[in-house]
Amino acid sequence: MSTSLSAKAVPEWRERALALLRQRPQLRTEILILLASAYFAVFGNQAFWRVAMEDATRSPGWALCVFGLLLAVNALVLSLLVWRPWARVLLGLLLVVSALAGHYIDAYGIYLDADMVRNVLHTDARESRDLLSWDTLLAAAAAIPALLALAWVRVRRSGWKSAVLARVALWLGVAALGVTAALASSQHLSALMRNQHQARYLVTPANYLVSLFTVLQEDPPGPKPALLTVAGDARQLPSPAGRKPRLLVMVVGETVRAGNWGLNGYARQTTPELLAIPDVLNFTDVSACGTSTEVSLPCMFSPYGRTGYDKKKIRSHESLLHVLARAGVSVEWRDNQSGCKGVCQGLPYESTSNASDPAYCGDDRCLDGILLERAATWMGDGRGDRVVVLHMVGNHGPNYFQRYPPEFRRYTPVCETADLGDCSPAQIVNAYDNAIGYTDHVLARLINLIGQQSRYHGGMIYVSDHGESLGEKGLFLHGVPYAIAPDEQTRVPMTMWFSPGFLADSDTDRDCLAGETRRAWSHDNLFDSVLGIMDVQTGDYRRERDLFAACRQPAGAAGAGAP
């Protein structure tokens, strides 16, 4: 008897299950938006929750208000993007992207503002691979349950009048929710916005969606307009008869912070080869224009700089290299990174992205030593003054262990994964310092190459684009908004070397310049300093920003000034 009943029960159970699956719920797009916003508020904003709730005195009522604010903000943003025809596809994409965004925010302490989103959009495949790991895959997999739920429901069709009314009702509803939550928590909210105003860049997915809109508005896809002229009157003073031309190699370091630079007094001597070279000039107090390559690189070659920072103005105008070229100085950009970010637009450019030299290049990218190969070619023919920029991969993270060859593995054990949270602080610093040691070697080789060639009087200026956090204050990598960025991300090394002939031709006193190394300088000084030492005359030159000016003889100083 029981066997017969059991045999009948199984098919009945199966039939009911199939019937339930056939009865997939139909939801309006607005309900999907609210459900997705609630999901993001609870599961996609751990970093924001930590900041909002770090004060132990904050009550459950404040937590409820935070939930209401997160739901309202995300629902408002999603309601502008998500419409019925592509609702499930777009929400599915946002679920995956938000899971990854949350992972990188938690793992590295980043903020998804417009500059960070611009970094993401402009990164190359090699940099993207560096950030992939098993933790990344696990983060993406965390979105699977929500994706399955999204795939199960159906989006209800409705007429356009009903759709408009529903969307207006959604806007009014979430606006009312947001205002109510803000008013109910005004004291805590005002304190949060005053003390942690950058926390808005932790609200996922509103942070990257709003930032993406900002980036596309500032830099729309398609052909770029011609750069606006800078220093249109630029001209180089005539060279004295018989003077040998000058070669200035400007090396843009990547992600090297001042605190770990051996010449700055770091506990470890990470720059032993530079230390052994006579006449190296090291500037110990230098600040960067930004905390990311996307910001710093255009800024450091611009006349506008960090003072009164204007991103649009900087990106729409010519750089130092364009001014030098107009004045008759030969220029070239050699890149082992992700491009010159517009600094060399329309000028001679060479990238190592397709290089295959087995001595320097592996599967993903090349070591910086590749930049020095074929020196006889890129140094020029000696027919006039020349400026060459070498853009290094340097200490680009998080894979510091891949930035140097095995023989520079001096400090051990090292972190050998992109998941820095899986490594000890000592392992991370060891790998980072090893990478600086290799940069030291490349710069020493460069100085030797410049000194040995006979066609020019040579010089080198090395300065890093920005620094790096290695776990201090819970932060890793770089890109924190400048207003709250720690010194680890804004203080950078700057080291120079000039041959005696270069200094003599530029009327510059080396002993005087050695005294200037103890003063505070920044990326803002680069534009005018290079114009000055290369004897380029323009009304846009500012002597007060030229770090060489105080050490140049009157004739040279006057030569660099306005006509």
Cis peptide before 398 (omega within 30 of 0): yes
Stronger pLDDT, 225 or 13, i.e. the higher one = 225
pLDDT, tens digit, 9 for 90 and up, residues 524-558: 999 999 999 999 999 999 999 999 999 997 544 43
How distant, in Å, are the alpha carbons of 381, 446, 498, 534 from that of 505? 19, 21, 11, 9
> For residue 191, what pLDDT is reported?
81
Q: Does the pLDDT at position 9 exceed 90?
A: no
| Domains of the chain, residue spans | 17-218, 245-404+433-560
Token reading at 378: 């890129």
> For residue 22, what pLDDT is reported?
65
d(CA 485, CA 389): 27
Q: Under 8 Å CB-to-CB from 86, ≥6 apart: which residues?
A: none
d(CA 559, CA 563): 8
Contact 290, 466 (CB under 8 A): yes
Q: What is the mean pLDDT of residues 187-201?
A: 82
What are residue 409's phi and psi, to 5 degrees? -85, 70
Crossing angle of helices 29-43 and 60-81, rounded to 10°: 140
> For residue 307, what pLDDT is reported?
85
- What's the mean pLDDT when you consider all of the chain? 89
> For residue 532, what pLDDT is reported?
96
d(CA 283, CA 290): 18
d(CA 337, CA 386): 22
Residue 560 binned pLDDT confidence (cut-offs 50, 70, 90): very low
Q: What is the mean pLDDT of residues 143-161?
A: 88
* 245-404+433-560 homologous superfamily: Alkaline Phosphatase, subunit A (3.40.720.10)
- Determine whether 544 is exposed, middle or buried from the number of CB atoms within 10 Å of its CB (0-12, 13-18, 19+): exposed
> For residue 557, what pLDDT is reported?
40
pLDDT, tens digit, 9 for 90 and up, residues 476-523: 999 999 988 999 999 999 999 999 999 999 999 999 999 999 999 999
> For residue 58, what pLDDT is reported?
66
pLDDT, tens digit, 9 for 90 and up, residues 44-87: 999 998 888 886 556 888 899 999 999 999 999 999 999 988 89
What are residue 154's phi and psi, to 5 degrees? -115, 150
What does the buried/exposed string (b/e) look like for 143-176 if buried means 16 or more CB atoms within 10 Å of the residue's CB? beebbeebeeeebbeeeeeebeebbeebeeebee
> For residue 17, what pLDDT is reported?
63
> For residue 563, what pLDDT is reported?
34
Share of the chain above pLDDT 70, in %: 93
Going by the DSSP 8-state scheme, the letter that residue 225 receives in this structure is P
d(CA 466, CA 291): 5
Q: How many CB atoms neighbour CB 241 within 10 A?
A: 5
For residue 390, what are the β-bridge partners? 251, 334
pLDDT, tens digit, 9 for 90 and up, residues 19-56: 665 677 888 999 999 999 999 999 999 999 888 888 65
Tally of CA atoms within 13 A in the half-sphere of 79 that contains its CB: 25
Q: Does the pLDDT at position 128 exceed 80?
A: no
What are residue 215's phi and psi, to 5 degrees? -65, -45
Contact 560, 323 (CB under 8 A): no
Going by the DSSP 8-state scheme, the letter that residue 288 receives in this structure is -
Pairing of strands 469-470, 330-335: unpaired
Contact 315, 342 (CB under 8 A): yes
Share of the chain above pLDDT 90, in %: 65
Token reading at 510: 């080396």
